[in-house]
């Protein structure tokens, strides 16, 4: 039995502090920006049902594994994997799994900060009544003018990065914990207010039906985004598992797995806190936010005769149009974009934390200085995304394979979400049950080796979860075609 380590960075003051922090990491733009539009594009209720199943069979087992590894190592992901690889009688080369997570989180934050900057700008735009009585063409033009202005994007990207590093520089208890204690309750309160507003629209029941009544034809046959089925030459519907795989992939990505964030947060988790219980609570809270976002958004969309399958523009083009024409639209629209900023902020601090922790541990740099160094480096890489929407919108840096005709932003998004995160999650599953001994994992999970709960986690993580991740990964990179 290995002596329990302690983290040099401190630890969460309680289990609930960790739950708030990890939920804040998981809850982000993916829940409030991405989930509603991909649910809208891919069949509504049936898509949501598969998404919930995948949270259970992929998300929770890998989350338990990542938290367990983090608490076992009590260091940055790089040093944790280095030490645990040796401790398990394997190799120190597992440190590269740690590096994969650190780099993935760093790259994600570089473009995440730019998108979050859009939300910051839209708080002011909506509050000032910019979208009041605007038609669809004017709303779309406003958005196009904004992203086409590199100086405007640079300003908001810089401001959001400064907000992020201000929190990270203050450490675990003084920065991360205090921030999430404010941000997460605020996020839930705003969401509930938005759902309450949607409840009073004439289309609330239609929104619920769309979100929760499964129509498996929409899930299993090719169709236009949110629209008509695509037929073959014989006039028959075309069977596909593409939408199932999208649901599976989003379930994996929305929990912030494979990017070092949950691992580093797990390293600050006190002993004698149940990893299984906290993982279920975090996954449940993350899923609840996504569902509440759908309950808030779809009734507003239907009440204004808008397209639920609008795609990425649902938040920045479709919803401002709706807010501009509904009673109280300025107030509720402003509240919605404040919600989006809160969600992005709580996630962004977890994305850079692994890199800052590594710099403190390995280079002896004080935390404030480490935060400035990593924040500035991330800000610089973020310029690639800033310019991808304007002066470099026709620049395709890796014009081959899946990166063909993709801008710098598209490349970073595809590389991290579709390659680095699935590989990281798969490697975490493999390490936790194929490399670590049963005794070590049972000890850290605080479960008897012969307990049914431990065996359920062990065999799901050993077999079912890696197979599911491999299928998702294979489809996303084009190795498997459904």
Residue 369 located in a structural domain? yes
Distance CA 208, CA 203 (A): 9
Q: What angle do CA 15, 20, 25 make, to 5 degrees?
A: 125
Distance CA 158, CA 114 (A): 8
Query: Residue 299: left if φ>0, alpha if ψ -120 to 50, beta else—which one?
Result: alpha
Say if CB 171 and CB 367 are below 8 A apart.
Answer: yes
- At 333, list the tokens: 């629209």
For residues 258 and 425, give the distance between their C-alpha atoms in angstroms, rounded to a whole number.
4
Task: Provide φ and ψ at 396, rounded to 5°.
Answer: -115, 95
Report yes or no on 259 lying in a domain. Answer: yes
The model's pTM is: 0.91
Task: Render pLDDT for 122-150 as a digit per residue (tens, 0 to 9).
Answer: 999 999 999 998 888 898 899 999 999 99
Judge whether 177 lies within some domain.
yes
Would you say residue 6 lies in a domain?
Answer: no
Give the Cα separation of 425 and 255 in Å (integer).
11
Residue 197 belongs to some domain of the structure: yes
Q: 93 lies in a domain?
A: yes
CATH number at residue 48: 1.20.1740
Q: Which two tokens stand for residue 168?
A: 């990270």
Per the DSSP assignment, residues forming a β-bridge with 223 are 229
CA-CA distance, 447 to 380, in Å (whole number)?
45
**Residue ranges making up the domain that contains 370:** 15-476
- The answer to whether residue 107 is domain-embedded is yes
Per the CB < 8 A criterion, the answer to whether 381 and 367 are in contact is no
Of the candidate ranges 240-249, 269-278, 417-426, the one whose mean pLDDT is the lowest: 240-249
Residue 76 near residue 264 (C-beta atoms within 8 A): yes
C-alpha 221/C-alpha 236 separation (Å) is: 10
* Tokens found for residue 315: 């938040």
State residue 476's pLDDT score: 67
Nearest-5° angle of CA 350, CA 355, CA 358?
Answer: 125
Q: What is the DSSP letter of 318?
A: I
**pLDDT category, 370, cuts 50, 70, 90?**
very high
What beta strand segments (E) does 289-440 contain? none
Cα gap 452→64, rounded to integer Å:
16
Domain membership flag for residue 123:
yes
Number of domains into which the chain is organized: 1
Residue 159 tokens read as: 């401001």
Least confident segment among 24-38, 142-156, 253-267, 376-390: 24-38
pLDDT confidence of residue 358: 96
Q: How far apart are CA 153 and CA 159, in angstroms?
A: 10
Contact by Cβ (8 Å): 12, 270: yes
pLDDT in tens, 258-290: 889 999 999 999 888 899 999 999 999 999 988
């Amino acid at each position: 039995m290995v002596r329990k380590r302690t983290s040099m960075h401190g630890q969460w003051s309680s289990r609930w502090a960790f739950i708030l922090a990890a939920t804040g990491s998981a809850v982000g733009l993916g829940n409030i920006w991405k989930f509603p539009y991909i649910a809208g594009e891919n069949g509504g209720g049936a898509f949501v049902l598969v998404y919930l199943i995948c949270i259970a069979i992929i998300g929770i087992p890998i989350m338990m594994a990542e938290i367990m590894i983090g608490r076992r190592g009590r260091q940055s992901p790089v040093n944790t994997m280095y030490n645990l690889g040796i401790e398990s009688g394997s190799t120190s080369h597992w440190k590269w799994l740690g590096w994969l997570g650190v780099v993935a989180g760093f790259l994600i934050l570089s473009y995440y900060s730019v998108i979050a900057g859009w939300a910051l700008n839209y708080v002011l735009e909506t509050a000032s009544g910019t979208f009041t009585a605007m038609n669809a063409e004017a709303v779309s033009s406003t958005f196009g003018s904004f992203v086409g202005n590199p100086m405007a994007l640079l300003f908001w990207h810089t401001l959001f990065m400064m907000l992020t590093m201000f929190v990270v520089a203050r450490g675990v208890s003084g920065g991360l914990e205090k921030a999430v204690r404010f941000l997460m309750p605020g996020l839930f309160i705003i969401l509930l207010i938005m759902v309450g507003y949607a409840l009073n629209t004439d289309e609330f029941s239609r929104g619920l039906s769309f979100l929760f009544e499964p129509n498996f034809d929409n899930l299993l046959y090719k169709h236009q985004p949110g629209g008509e089925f695509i037929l073959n030459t014989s006039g028959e519907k075309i069977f596909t598992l593409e939408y199932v795989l999208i649901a599976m992939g989003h379930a994996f990505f929305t929990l912030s797995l494979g990017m070092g964030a949950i691992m580093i947060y797990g390293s600050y988790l006190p002993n004698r806190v149940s990893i299984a219980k906290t993982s279920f609570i975090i996954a449940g809270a993350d899923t609840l936010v996504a569902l509440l976002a759908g309950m808030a958004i779809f009734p507003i969309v239907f009440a204004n005769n808008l397209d639920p399958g609008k795609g990425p523009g649902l938040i920045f083009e479709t919803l401002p149009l709706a807010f501009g024409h509904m009673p109280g639209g300025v107030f509720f629209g402003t509240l919605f974009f404040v919600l989006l900023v809160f969600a992005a902020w709580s996630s962004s601090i977890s994305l850079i934390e692994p890199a800052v922790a590594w710099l403190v541990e390995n280079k002896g740099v004080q935390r404030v200085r480490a935060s400035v160094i990593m924040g500035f480096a991330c800000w610089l890489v973020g310029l690639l995304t800033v310019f991808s929407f304007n002066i470099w919108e026709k620049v395709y840096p890796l014009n081959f394979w899946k990166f063909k005709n993709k801008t710098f932003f598209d490349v970073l998004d595809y590389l991290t979400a579709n390659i680095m995160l699935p590989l990281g999650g798969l490697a975490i599953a493999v390490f936790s049950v194929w490399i670590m001994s049963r005794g070590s994992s049972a000890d850290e999970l605080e479960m008897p080796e012969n307990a049914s709960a431990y065996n359920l986690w062990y065999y799901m993580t050993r077999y079912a979860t890696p197979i599911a991740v491999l299928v998702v990964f294979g489809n996303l990179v084009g190795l498997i075609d459904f």
